[in-house]
Amino acid sequence: MTAALSASGRGARVLVLEAANRVGRKILASGNGRCNLANLGPESYPGGGPFAQKILRQCPVSRVLDFFHGLGLVTVEEDGGRVYPGCGQAAAVLDVLRSAMERQKIEVLCDTPVKRVQQTKWGLRAEAGGKAFDASAVIAACGGMAGGKLGHDGGAYRLLTDLGHTLTPVKPALAPLMAEKSAVRGLSGLRLPAILTLCDQKGQPLGHPFQGEALFTDYGVSGVCAMELARRAGEEKEKTGAWPVLYMDFAPMLGLCPRYYGALDKADGDPNRHLKAMRVFLEERAHILPKDALLQGMVPRLLAERLKGRSIPELARSLAAFPVPLTGVRGFEYAQVTAGGVACGEFDPATLQSLLVPGLYAAGEMLDVDGACGGFNLQFAFASGIVAGEEAVRAALML
Ligand SMILES: Cc1cc2nc3c(=O)[nH]c(=O)nc-3n(C[C@H](O)[C@H](O)[C@H](O)COP(=O)(O)OP(=O)(O)OC[C@H]3O[C@@H](n4cnc5c(N)ncnc54)[C@H](O)[C@@H]3O)c2cc1C
């Protein structure tokens, strides 16, 4: 939609071919219905970072927000630089895009999946809905496989691989973590502030920890901070053949962590970082409380049940580094974004034009770019759409 608007705003006649029965369904589901559409903080792209940065240099977050403000959207900034529509409704983001497309008389054909894109003597031809559409440029912005029915089944990548493009293997990212049943038994439904660190089988930290609200489920651990670790967990499994262990540090719940919900020191990955503080804390409680009431009023009952009977050193260890051996990452249906996609190196980062097929452009999650939680994925989709739209028109005018 941003690609269509930016191309149409520069005078192009634009047709949007949409496979679903309406455009922008994923926007409605995003940010728990609030749509976290951008992030004003430092860019965070675990996948395709250097390529994403080049696009975001041309179309930084300020330009994405100007674009939306120009369409009438009012936005607010929340913690961590996350940007949401001021009214708190994802529908507002989709409404302003759709209204602008109507005003600019952009034709939209829904229920019209593109089956093939071909090069012709004059440009490109997209085949959809039993018809052929000729154009000087085609912008492929079919998204990824994440989000179950909101994503595609992988078939959309073939539009570009059939033209010679490479697909970097795809896997779910920003997805809940699956764990050994015994590790989470009895805890399902608990939502706890925690610091989460992934460690290899030898206990060595794999990257920096994430802090936030972790949600125990019957299959494992969910919540934004857990989902942030899915990509890294999958990489470790690929590299070593073994899933890593998740260590949960409950110091924030006990007020032992001054940077509650704040940014963590990236270098600080020690899963036992609060062990000493935890022990002192418990010993102080042991002076005033009976042994069987030590955990009361301190941790939720489900967790207290799970930990009862343990000695103070054991309790301190369980609360500073609660081990959850992982068994997998939930699939695309439960993921928010796709890691992998159409290889970025085959597109000009200044224009998003294919280096293999003149007139072909790609934008958004379809490319091998995936961002962290916090608005980075939509921001990249919007920014790359704006760039692809304007560059497609510029190139067509130069012909
Ligand atoms: C539950 C959930 C919550 C999320 N929350 C956030 C959030 O708060 N902030 C954030 O930054 N990101 C969030 N994301 C990720 C974000 O929504 C996506 O990264 C973003 O929508 C990608 O935009 P896109 O335009 O590339 O693809 P999409 O939004 O997926 O749009 C692609 C469109 O192409 C259509 N299409 C597919 N194949 C074809 C075809 N062959 N022919 C024609 N049309 C086709 C699809 O139907 C779809 O309408 C969330 C994702 C999910 C699943």
**Looking at the structure, do residues 345 and 320 belong to the same domain, yes or no?**
no
**Looking at the structure, do residues 206 and 139 belong to the same domain, yes or no?**
no
**Looking at the structure, do residues 22 and 36 belong to the same domain, yes or no?**
yes
CB 338 near ligand 1, within 6 Å: no
What per-residue confidence (pLDDT) applies to 49? 97
CB 114 near ligand 1, within 6 Å: yes
pLDDT of 265 strictly over 60: no
**Looking at the structure, do residues 146 and 41 belong to the same domain, yes or no?**
yes
What's the pLDDT tens digit per position in 98-109? 999 999 999 999
Average pLDDT over residues 254-283: 73
Which atom of ligand 1 is the closest one to the Cα of 365?
Answer: 26
**Looking at the structure, do residues 146 and 226 belong to the same domain, yes or no?**
no
Number of domains in the chain: 2
What's the pLDDT tens digit per position in 18-60? 999 999 999 999 999 999 999 999 999 999 999 999 999 999 9
CB 31 near ligand 1, within 6 Å: yes
Average pLDDT over residues 216-229: 96
Model confidence at 258, pLDDT cuts 50, 70, 90, reads: low
What's the pLDDT tens digit per position in 165-182? 999 999 999 999 999 999
**Amino acid sitting at position 136:** S
**Looking at the structure, do residues 25 and 167 belong to the same domain, yes or no?**
yes
**Looking at the structure, do residues 272 and 320 belong to the same domain, yes or no?**
yes
**Looking at the structure, do residues 353 and 318 belong to the same domain, yes or no?**
no
Q: Which of 329, 347, 380 is the C-terminal boundary of a domain?
A: 329
**Looking at the structure, do residues 194 and 324 belong to the same domain, yes or no?**
yes
Average pLDDT over residues 271-287: 91
Q: Which of 300, 329, 358 is the C-terminal boundary of a domain?
A: 329
**Looking at the structure, do residues 229 and 208 belong to the same domain, yes or no?**
yes
What per-residue confidence (pLDDT) applies to 255? 87
Q: Whose CA is nearest to atom 6 of ligand 1?
A: 30
Q: Which of 329, 361, 376 is the C-terminal boundary of a domain?
A: 329
pLDDT of 313 strictly over 90: yes
Q: What is the mean pLDDT of the chain?
A: 94
**Looking at the structure, do residues 54 and 145 belong to the same domain, yes or no?**
yes
Range of the domain at 80: 2-171+338-398
CB 146 near ligand 1, within 6 Å: yes
What per-residue confidence (pLDDT) applies to 160? 98
What's the pLDDT tens digit per position in 290-309? 999 999 999 999 999 999 99
- For residues 51 and 399, the model is more confident at 51
- For ligand 1, mutation pick of 68, 157, 377 (most atoms within 8 Å of CB): 377
**Looking at the structure, do residues 314 and 299 belong to the same domain, yes or no?**
yes
What's the pLDDT tens digit per position in 327-339? 999 999 999 999 9
